[in-house]
Amino acid sequence: MTKTLPISEARQSLTSLVAKVGKQMARFIITCKGKPLAVLISHKELESWQETLDVIADAEEIAGIREGLGQLLRGESVPFEEVFGEPLSGHKAKTGHAL
């Protein structure tokens, strides 16, 4: 949920806005004279955005992701059990694999 509100309202309601951001993952766009000025989001969401930006800024990481997706599309995968030495809980093991 994203809501836009003027800075005067945000100032008066800051405590409740922070609580909503933390518990309900709400977002608030704060305006000044009708123009967007700031955004109030949870710390958890900020960290998630920062991590995403770090990933997309890293050319090697993006290349690795693209390579992995290509391998999946070509059916080149290794079963969970073979990688981790135990079955994925709640799933039956499949027989045979590509690679």
Q: What is the pLDDT of residues 33-76, one digit of tens each?
A: 999 999 999 999 999 999 999 999 999 999 999 999 999 999 99
Return mean pLDDT, the chain: 90
Residue among 57, 49, 84, 87 at smallest CA distance from 65: 57
pLDDT category of residue 91 using cuts at 50, 70 and 90: low
Q: What is the pLDDT at residue 79?
A: 87
- Name the pTM for this structure: 0.64
- Give dist(CA 27, CA 4) in Å, integer: 9
In this predicted structure, the answer to whether residue 97 has a pLDDT above a threshold of 80 is no
Contacts of 3 (CB under 8 A, 6+ apart): 26, 27, 28, 29
Q: What is the pLDDT at residue 63?
A: 95
CATH of 2-41, one of 3.40.50.300, 1.20.1290.10, 3.40.1620.10, 2.40.10.220: 3.40.1620.10
Place of tokens 């009708």: 34
**Domain residue limits, the chain:** 2-41, 45-77
pLDDT category of residue 30 using cuts at 50, 70 and 90: very high
